[in-house]
């Protein structure tokens, strides 16, 4: 396979990220097929035309079904709002396309199950946009854990905070409603913690959670004198039990003033621990209980060419990679899976397990009891 046709649905923040990733992936990873930017879709005709020109796509449309039905499109990237993921993904899979879809999968578990079933039937490759697990520092953390550097994993701790909805006067958007947005901070942010937990530790089996909607109404952007009800949660906390025996705690907020993209995780083992902070995304902290106790302490591991695929971007350590680079790595992961017939992670099947956790957290908070993740 020398090249592969790309169709992109959505041109917002994540749409641009996908376009940048496909535009850069061949230059960074020379051994992947060359993406042909064939078709771009946005519901606004002028925006679709302008973004196609800016991003380098050959054609533009306002009809996503036209994009999916086009024979030149082999990979469909879905960066549209959560509420349309199921319809678009299932249609693409039924048309025999590979699908790269942004997280979360969908507003509810039934939609997620339908997407996973369609992926099984299609036999094509699927990937969900959990780009943080593609960070070379996280990949190295997994390598250390798998090699036993910190011994048997006993505990996982995670925090993810942002302040994009901290202002009580910030307008109501589709993210505040269950029909189009689904869950609140659980779907926007907590799912990233769950992806990291599953990737590094294993599946979560049982949990107890609480949630809170702090700003229960927000002014409508078109008519500020009127307000809309916020139907989902601003804050979520959970106590976890993993299938492998480890325990954990996670917390998330979309109203944490001052926090822009804080993702802090710790993996505690019987012989040490690993810590990572996304706001210092090129660093990993490692503590091992070895040697003279008087000389022990955390050591900082700075990402460099020794931590693949960092070296694909830069031959020098300490120069650092960024958020959009993680999307390039993610694109390469998908393209490599298509060429080698491997299963990318997280596929729709893996992603359904992540979805099950965040919906179990919502159910636990509503019922006030521990629940099994199913």
Q: What is the pLDDT of residues 90-146, one digit of tens each?
A: 999 999 999 999 999 999 999 999 999 999 999 999 999 999 999 999 999 999 999
Give the model's pLDDT for residue 146: 98
The residues, any chain, with a CB within 8 Å of residue 78's CB and separated by 6 or more, are 9, 10, 85, 88, 89, 92, 99, 100, 101, 102
To the nearest 5 percent, what fractions of the chain are helix, strand and coil? 40, 25, 35
Res. 75: pLDDT tops 90: yes
* Backbone dihedral angles phi then psi of residue 116, each to the nearest 5 degrees: -65, -40
Gap between the Cα atoms of 374 and 364, Å rounded = 13
Q: What percent of the chain has pLDDT over 90?
A: 97
List the domains of the chain with CATH numbers: 3-130 (3.40.50.720), 132-372 (3.30.360.10)
pTM, entire model:
0.95
Res. 242: pLDDT tops 90: yes
Give the model's pLDDT for residue 223: 87
Q: Which of 269, 289, 265, 267 is closest to 277 using CA atoms? A: 265
Lowest mean pLDDT among 61-75, 141-155, 173-187, 228-242: 173-187
- Across the range 174-203, mean pLDDT stands at 95
- Across the range 248-266, mean pLDDT stands at 97
Res. 32: pLDDT tops 90: yes
Give the model's pLDDT for residue 116: 98
Please answer whether residues 226 and 219 qualify as being in contact, where contact means their C-beta atoms are separated by less than 8 angstroms. Answer: yes
- Across the range 228-233, mean pLDDT stands at 96
Q: What is the pLDDT of residues 314-370, one digit of tens each?
A: 999 999 999 999 999 999 999 999 999 999 999 999 999 999 999 999 999 999 999
Res. 13: pLDDT tops 80: yes
Give Rg (Cα) of the chain.
21
Give the model's pLDDT for residue 232: 96
The average confidence (pLDDT) of the chain is 97
Q: What is the pLDDT of residues 271-295, one digit of tens each?
A: 999 999 999 999 999 999 999 999 9
């Amino acid at each position: 396979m020398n090249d592969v046709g790309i169709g992109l649905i959505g041109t917002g923040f994540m749409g641009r990220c996908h376009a940048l990733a496909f535009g850069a992936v061949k230059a960074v990873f020379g051994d992947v097929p060359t993406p042909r930017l064939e078709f771009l879709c946005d519901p606004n005709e002028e925006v679709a035309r302008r973004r196609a020109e800016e991003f380098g796509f050959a054609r533009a449309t306002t009809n996503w079904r036209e994009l999916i039905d086009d024979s030149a499109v082999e990979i469909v990237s879905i960066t549209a709002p959560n509420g349309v993921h199921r319809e678009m993904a299932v249609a693409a899979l039924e048309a025999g396309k590979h699908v790269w879809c942004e997280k979360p999968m969908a507003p509810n578990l039934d939609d997620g199950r339908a997407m996973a079933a369609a992926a099984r039937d299609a036999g094509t490759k699927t990937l969900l946009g959990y780009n943080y697990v593609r960070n070379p520092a996280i990949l190295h953390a997994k390598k250390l854990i798998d090699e036993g550097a910190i011994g048997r994993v006993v505990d996982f701790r995670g925090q993810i905070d942002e302040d994009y909805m901290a202002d009580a006067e910030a307008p109501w958007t589709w993210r505040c409603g269950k029909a189009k947005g689904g869950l609140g901070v659980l779907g926007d942010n907590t799912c990233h913690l769950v992806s990291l937990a599953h990737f590094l530790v294993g599946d979560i089996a049982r949990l107890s959670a609480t949630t809170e909607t702090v700003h229960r109404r927000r002014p409508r952007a078109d008519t500020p004198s009127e307000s809309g009800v916020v139907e989902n949660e601003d804050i979520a906390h959970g106590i976890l039990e993993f299938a492998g025996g480890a325990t954990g705690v996670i917390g998330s907020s979309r109203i944490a003033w001052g926090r822009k993209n804080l993702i802090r995780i710790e993996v505690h083992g019987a012989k040490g621990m690993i810590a990572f902070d996304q706001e210092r995304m090129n660093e990993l902290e490692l503590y091992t209980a070895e040697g003279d106790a008087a000389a022990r302490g955390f050591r900082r591991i700075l990402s460099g060419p020794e931590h693949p695929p960092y070296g694909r971007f830069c031959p020098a350590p300490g120069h650092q990679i960024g958020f959009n680079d993680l999307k390039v790595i993610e694109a390469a992961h998908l393209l490599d899976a298509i060429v080698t017939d491997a299963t990318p992670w997280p596929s729709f099947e893996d992603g359904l397990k992540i979805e099950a956790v965040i919906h179990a957290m919502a159910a636990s908070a509503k019922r006030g009891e521990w629940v099994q993740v199913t």
